[in-house]
A and B are shown apart, each in its own frame.
Chain A
Amino acid sequence: MSSAARTARNLVITGVTASALVLAGCGPSATDSGQAAGEITALDYYADQQGSKAWQQVLDTCAAETGIKVDRQTVPTDQLLPKVLKDASSRTLPDLLFTDNPSLQQIAATGALTPLTDYGISTDGYYPGIVKAGTYQDKVYGLAPGVNGLALIYNKKLLQEKGIEPPQTWEQLKAAATALTADGKYGLAFSALATEEGAWQFLPFFWSNGADLAKLDSPQGVEAMRFVNDLVTSGSASKSVLNWNQNDVADQFVAGNAAMMINGSWNLARLDETAGLDYGVVPIPTPRPGTAPVVALGGEVGAIPATGPDRQQAAAKVLGCILSEPNMVAWDKAHAYVPSKMDVAKKFGQENPAMQPFVSEVETARSRTAELGEKYSTVSQALGAALQSVLAGQQSPEDALRAAQEQAGRP
């Protein structure tokens, strides 16, 4: 055998060995038996500093209470669902999963989740809206330790300077936003991304005006979109709302570039930390005086994927601990969420005045998936696209919503 051939043979052996190693590395590890119920994995998307710290505290408390070690993983919000899908196909789902409530039904539809009733976790005392959001085909798969919603947050100083009262109706909101727009500053900021985030921000206007997700292009829906569009075309809100996510909106508000913003309660901790910022919170203005706004119910629900009986039991213990009243309140206080149990929320609102508008909104809030189930994501995608198209000046509210309805109605 020539030396070249010998080298080649050796190379082949090396190559085959390397490939075998690679393949071994790709496969599921076989050492994970059902015995390790003393330890579970948990997945969430609280990637921001305050949220992450607050959540870690809750997990630490419950790890100590139950004696179960919680191995936590955090991914950015938009990567949670792709990761869950990937994990589902490789059967490496976390034992405890915290996901945005509108995506719960989709995950449940895959069959990867187990009903919480299996573990004796009760839904008594929770807001019906949040139970509905966690329900798929009459079984509850997810429950939340806290919920959130959107409200109008305003800069007290800027409003006082102009002698403006916090707006309660669309008329007042429009007038206030116009009056507060001056010197490169805008009256109002909100997010109008072409995604779920934009749809979620638009829904309070859409629903409060009596429109329905089953028929996007109803006169009420068109009217709501025209109202939001007028805020932008009149210059009371920057055209940059097209690119802002809700964090960007909060940045604009903190920087004093916007006098009012539509944003969620989870921003309050950050606003509190900003020196010299005096803010107030009122429910989102409604089309007519004296009516309650209908906002979308936000927040994450905890679910238990099918990962093996021992691990599921352990995960249920930890979830039960997270849902217990003291931990629920601790988490909601730290992250400015509204407790998902009605009587706890009532007390919570009385003790935290800045949270009271959010608490009262939750009573009338609607679950995004209650009506449409797993089809919601298609509809919200179409609604977000329509909003962008209108605000960018591409289509009239009527045309955009008609197109959205067609797209959403496609099988």
Chain B
Amino acid sequence: MTTADLLGKILQVVMGLAVFAAIVGLLVFFIDRAPKKGRDYWQLVGFLAPAIILLAIGLIWPAIRTTGLAFLDNSGNFSWDNFIWMFTQPAAIRTLINTVIWVLFVPTLATALGLAYAVFIDKSRGERYYKALVFMPMAISFVGAGIIWRFVYEYRAGEREQIGLLNAIVTGLGGEPVQWLQTDPLNTFLLIVVMIWIQTGFAMVVLSAAIKGIPTEQIEAAQLDGTNAWQRFMNVTVPGIRGSLVVVLTTISIATLKVFDIVRTMTAGNFNTSVVANEMYTQAFRASEVGRGSALAVILFLLVLPIVIYNVNILRKQREIR
């Protein structure tokens, strides 16, 4: 890059920002000068329009187009082939099954572990440090986590030195090294462990905050009633944080449905570990089968939709209570 190019680019950025500021300024100016009659209406339109236009360009139109593409074959004719392929090909069916397994295990286990951890460290000494310890994996990207865990599962044949932690332990105990990532169906669960490792921190932080929000009086009253710790947990704590629990569960579910990076970096979908999002990318971009990719995207969308609706409903109800 030459200096002239660089200056040109800087100038472009400055110009862009200036134009943006000018447009926003003008908009605000005109909204302010809107006729008295129906001013509220004009203001509403003025402030909502940019967001709605961007949403339409960036979300609604692509969603419509993807749905359309899902019903086209490679030469652009209408066909059901993409969906037929998805529900008849053993490999594609396996992808759907794997996604179901992911959604069953990751949210429940991550939330359960996060909750247990939050309860155990609650009001303990050094709580902050314990929290940081579990929360830290959240700071690592999924790709980074995938690479780290691939080393954990790394395999070297019997006589060679093990560089994978897990196999080093196994051989240290006198066992034979295992091809962890190739052993189906164990490998899917080993990938799930990575996701749980990342998401437990999130669950723990949110639930810990919710636990602290439970009035002490309730717990003391339960204590006076002669309940043991487990009864207090089940009858006071859990009902008290129900809203947060649902939010955590649904948020992790959505994250799990679209999991892609972990699978792609660790096995690239080989050995029967592929999931819908990974397959979607592979079909659309590597295999140049845009229709198949779009069909998978549509399925993913349909799977996420009920969870999102449920999540929004719960949030709304919570707000009403408050």
B partners with A? no
Residues of A within 8 A of B (CB): none
- B positions within 8 Å CB-CB of A: none
